[in-house]
Chain A
Amino acid sequence: DAKTTQPTSMDCAEGRAANLPCNHSTISGNEYVYWYRQIHSQGPQYIIHGLKNNETNEMASLIITEDRKSSTLILPHATLRDTAVYYCIVRALSSEKLTFGTGTRLTIIP
């Protein structure tokens, strides 16, 4: 599975949109982009995933660039409960494993 690069940490004001970037320049055509988050001392929580089209669900939006070398997770109206470590993971459907990188520690500021 391709590697990903994320900023170590980010701050975002409560009520604002949080935009979390992820670089995956070596992504292959059959690899999906997944986003998970981990709130302190809990198991990771699935957020969203996509292949090449932009995706939106009740939690977030995922914007994938046309060349698929990077993506952005958007939390439209961040709340204090969104403070967590966010992991961007690239995985092929044929691969069973999810390989976690260091993620981005997002802190929502009141």
Chain B
Amino acid sequence: GAVVSQHPSWVICKSGTSVKIECRSLDFQATTMFWYRQFPKQSLMLMATSNEGSKATYEQGVEKDKFLINHASLTLSTLTVTSAHPEDSSFYICSARGGPQEQYFGPGTRLTVT
């Protein structure tokens, strides 16, 4: 199947700083990518849908000014957590849509804010 990578796989940052997470589709082009967040022992929650060349669509309750999404090319989307706080500590997972039926997930990025 198609491969989606994320970088970094884990990151620790101090409260108040910003962190950027990259999501890349390695062997296919993805006009649409998705960002999810998963807290311990909980399911994945969709944060936003990222479309190449246009603004992301955020789910209800997700602050767009805090979670900045950029989808500048058909193979790269980035999520920047601005002014991170300990409650933003979570597992962030991206996925990329490879076709009408396929959606491939990255390995996830574990963010810890101290």
A and B bind: yes
Interface residues of A (CB under 8 A from B): 32, 36, 38, 41-46, 49, 87, 93, 96-103
Interface of A is mostly: loop
Q: Pick the contact of B103 from A38, A41, A46, A101 — CB < 8 Å?
A: A46
Q: Which of A38, A44, A93 counts the most chain B CB atoms within 10 A?
A: A44
Shortest beta-carbon distance from A90 to chain B in Å: 13
Interface residues of B (CB under 8 A from A): 1, 4, 6, 32, 34, 36, 43-46, 49, 91, 93, 95, 97, 100-108, 110
Known: A32-B101, A102-B43. 8 other contacts (CB 8 A): A43-B6, A43-B95, A43-B107, A44-B93, A46-B105, A49-B101, A96-B32, A98-B34
Contact B46 A97 (CB under 8 A): yes
Give Cα A42–Cα B109 distance, bound, in whole angstroms.
9
Interface of B is mostly: strand
Give Cα A45–Cα B4 distance, bound, in whole angstroms.
11
Q: A43-B108, A96-B97 are in contact. Are A103 and B103 (CB under 8 A)?
A: no
Contact B93 A97 (CB under 8 A): no
Q: Pick the contact of B107 from A36, A42, A98 — CB < 8 Å?
A: A42
Give Cα A36–Cα B105 distance, bound, in whole angstroms.
10
Shortest beta-carbon distance from A32 to chain B in Å: 7
Q: List 26 A-B contacts (CB under 8 A).
A: A36-B105, A41-B108, A41-B110, A42-B108, A43-B95, A43-B106, A43-B108, A44-B44, A46-B102, A46-B103, A46-B104, A46-B105, A49-B101, A87-B43, A93-B100, A93-B101, A96-B32, A97-B46, A98-B46, A99-B46, A100-B44, A100-B45, A100-B46, A101-B43, A102-B43, A103-B43
Q: Please, which residues of chain A bring their CB within 8 A of the CB of B91?
A: 41
